[in-house]
Structure 1
C-alpha cells in the first residue's frame, strides 16, 4: 500500500466536511437561536452539549458496526439518517425539541469521521499515515471555516433554521455519492464485540491515548465552541463572531500541508508540544480579552494546535493497537467529543454570567499538563512490532 487513492481521499474529505459543517454551524448561532426561541444562552449551550455528548458516546457503537457491516456502508446509512434528522431539527420550536433532534443528528453524524479515519488505517501504511490523516483534516478545516462564517451571516440575514436544512440535504446527497468508495478488506478475528474492548482495557498506553482525547476535547473543542458567544458578549455581531471563528478553519487549512510535511521529518512528540504551546497561547489571549483582535489571534493559534497536536494524537490512536484499531479510534473520537460536551455543560453557568475570562483561563491551565504528558509519553513510545498491511 502506498496511500489511499486520490478519489478515496476526496470522498473521505467530503464526509469529514459535511459532518464538521453540521457541528460547527451551531456555535456562531447560539445567541440567534436563544433569541428566536426566547431562551437563555446557557440553555442553548446545554442543547449543543447534548449534541456533542451523543456524538461522542455513539463513536464506540459505530466502530463495532463498521467492523460488522463495513466502513462505507456505515458511513452511507448514518449520513442518510443524519441528514433527515438535521432537516427535522430545523423545525424545532423549543430548546427541548432542539436538543432532542440535534442530539439524534449528532449521534448519526458521529459515524462519518471515525469511519473515514479507520478507513485510512485499513488502507494506508503507518509510516505515511499522518500525511493522509492531515489531508483528511482539510475537509474538517473547510467545514469549520464555511460553517463558522456562513452560519453567522445566514442567522443574521435569514434564519438559523436554514443551516440545518442545508447540512441535511448535503448529507443525503453525500450518502449516495459514497457508493463509489471501495470497501477495504477486513480481517475478522472472531469472538464478540467485547473482545477488542478487553484488549483496550488491558493496555495502559492505549488508555492513556484515550485520556488525552478526553482532555483535548475539553481544551480545543471547548474553546472553539465558546469563542463565538464570548465575542458576541464583548460586543461583536453574530456575523463578525462567525467570521472570526471562521479564521480557525482557514488556519487549519493553511497549517495542514505544513504539518503533513513536517510529520515526515519531525517526531510526533515535537508536533504535540508545538500544538500544546499554541493552545495555551490561544487560551491566554482570550483570557486577557474577548475582543475581535484577541479572537483572531486565538483562532489562528487554535488552528495550529489542532493540526499539530490533534493530528499527532489521532494518528497515534490508529497505531497504538492495530488488532483493535476500529475500537480504539472510535473510543478516541468519542472521548474527544465527550470532553467537549462536558466542557459545554460545565461552562453553561459561567457563560450565562459572561465569565468567559475564567473559562478560557481554565482551558489554558488544562492544556499545560496535557501537552507535557502527551509529548513526554509519545517520545518514549515505540510500536510493539511492524504494522500489518491490513489489520
Structure 2
C-alpha cells in the first residue's frame, strides 16, 4: 500500500478515532459481571448495555454518512467524537441500569458515524486503487481497540471499577478529538472547505430525493448482496464476540482481567488481518478475502464449542484470534465493495454497511441472550455456525454473481 505521509497521517488518525469508538463499546463485554453486581441485576439482564450502544450505532450510520456527504466529513467527525466523549463520561456516573442504558444509547448515537464517515474520508484521500487496503488498515486499527479494550477494561475493572474504565475511555475520546483538530481541513474534500468553495463545487447531477428513498435504492439495488452479507456478518461475528466475556466467566470461572486478556487476541488479529487483507485481495480478489474471513469465523465457533465441552479456556485463545481475523477481512472488504454502489454517495453507501453490521450485532446480542436462556451457550454457538455456513455458501454465490456483472 503506497501512501504519502499525509495520507498515512489521515488514515492513522481516523483509525485512532475508530479505535476509541470500538473500545468504548467492547470493553463492556468482560465488564458485564462487574456492572451487574454493582447495579444489582443479573448478568444476562446487563447485556442490554451492549445492545443499547450497538443498535443506534448501526441505525444512524447511514444518517451520519449522509451528513458527512453534505456538510463535510471532517466537520461531522468533530461533532460526533465530541459527543462520544461526553456520552462516555455520562456512563461513568450513571447510578442505575436504566440510566446507564440511556447514556449508552446517547453515546451510540454520537459514535454512529465515526466508522462510516472515516471510511468515506479515507476513500476520498487515497483514491480508488489503494482504497481496499487503506480501509483494511483503518479497520485493523479500529478493531485493535475492540480487542485491547477487553483486556485493559478488565484490568481497570478489577483494580478500580467499571466506572473508572468508562472515565478512562472518555479521556481517550478527548485525545481523539484533539488529533482530529490537527488534520488539515482540506483533507475532507470540498464539503469541508469554505462556503464559497462548496457552492462552486456543487454537482448538478448529485443525487436528490428523500433520504430513505435514496438509502433503499442503494441497499436493495445492484449491490444488495453486499449489504445482506453485512447484516449476517454483524449478527454472527459481533453477536458471538459480545458473549465471550460472560461465557468465559461462567464456563471457565475466569475473572474480568483473565477473560479480557484472552479477548485481546481479537484485537491483535484484527491488526494482523488489516495488514494482510490487501495481499489476499490482490491474489484472490474481494470475494476470496470474504471467503477466508468467513472460514476463520467458523474456526472460532468450533473453538468455542470445544470450550463448552471441555471447560478449558485454552481453545478460547484460538476463538478470539480467529474471530478477529475473520471479521477484519470480511467487514472492510464489504465496505470497499459498497462504495461502487453509488460513487456520488459514498458516505451513505458505507453508512449502510455500518447499519447492516452493527444493527446486526445488536440484534445478535438480543437473540443470543434468548438462545442462552433457552439452551445454554452450546445452542448459541451451534446457531451461529449454521448462520455463518449459510453466509459462506449462499452469500459467496451471490457475490460471485455480482463480480461477474461488474466485469
Match of 1:213 among 230, 234, 246: 230
Deviations 1:238-283 (A, max 9, x none): 1111011111111111232222222222211111111111111211
Distance 2:378 2:280 in 1: 34
Decide whether aligned partners of structure 1 residues 121 and 93 sit closer, same or farther in structure 2, where only a CA change above 3 A counts: same
Q: 1:184 aligns with which of 168, 181, 189?
A: 189
2:66 corresponding residue in structure 1: 64
What is the distance in 2 between the residues matched to 1:201 and 1:224?
Answer: 26
2:188 pairs with 1:171: no
Partners of 1:268 and 1:378 within 8 A in 2: no
DSSP 3-state at the match of 2:95: coil
Superposed CA deviations along residues 88-129 of structure 1, whole A, max 9, x for unmatched, are: 111112111111001110111111111110112223332321
Could you tell me whether the CA contact under 8 Å between 2:290 and 2:333 is conserved in 1? yes
1:295 aligns with 2:316: yes
In the other structure, the counterpart of 2:296 is 278
Q: Secondary structure at the match of 2:47?
A: helix
Question: Which has a greater percent of helix?
Answer: 2
SS for the counterpart of 1:355 is: helix
Does the Cα contact within 8 Å between 1:248 and 1:300 map onto a contact in 2?
A: yes
CA–CA separation in structure 2 for the residues paired with 1:184 and 1:209: 26
CA-atom RMSD in angstroms: 2.2
Deviations 1:298-324 (A, max 9, x none): 111112211222222222122233233
Q: Which moved more, 1:121-130 or 1:40-49?
A: 121-130
SS in 2 for 1:126: coil
Deviation at 1:43, TM superposition (A): 1.3
Equivalent residue number for residue 229 of structure 1: 246
Residue 15 of structure 1 contacts residue 174 of structure 1 at CA under 8 Å; is this kept in 2?
yes
Pick from 354, 365, 384 the counterpart of residue 344 of structure 1. Answer: 365
- Is there any run of 5+ residues in structure 2 with no aligned partner, and where? 192-201
Q: Which residue of 1 aligns with 2:110?
A: 108
Q: Which residue of 1 aligns with 2:196?
A: none
Equivalent residues in 2 for 1:41-60, closer than 5 Å: 41-60=43-62
Structure 2 partner of 1:238: 256
Tell me if structure 2 keeps the 8 A contact 1:85–1:101: yes
Contact kept in structure 2, 1:272 and 1:374, CA below 8 Å: no
Q: How many Å separate the matches in 2 of 1:163 and 1:221?
A: 21
Instruction: Please report how far the alpha carbon of residue 385 of structure 1 lies from its aligned counterpart in structure 2 after TM superposition.
Output: 7.7
d(CA) in 2 for partners of 1:343 and 1:278?
A: 19
Partner of 1:18: 20
CA distance in 1, matches of 2:334, 2:392: 11
* Unaligned 5+ runs, structure 1: 387-391
- Cross-structure match for 2:82: 80
Whole-Å separation in 1 of the counterparts to 2:29 and 2:406: 43
For 2:272, the equivalent position in structure 1 comes to: 254
Equivalent residues in 2 for 1:350-389, closer than 5 Å = 350-351=371-372, 355-382=376-403
Q: Is the 8 A contact 1:66 1:74 kept in 2?
A: yes
Task: Output the CA distance in 1 between the equivalents of 2:93 and 2:18.
Answer: 25
| Match for residue 119 of structure 2 among 117, 120, 123 | 117
How many Å separate the matches in 2 of 1:161 and 1:145?
Answer: 19
Question: 1:137 and 1:237 mapped to 2: Cα distance?
Answer: 29
- 3-state SS in 2 of match to 1:266: helix
Structure 1 counterpart of 2:39: 37
Provide the rounded CA distance (Å) in 2 between the counterparts of 1:193 and 1:211. 22
- Displacement of 1:190: 5.6
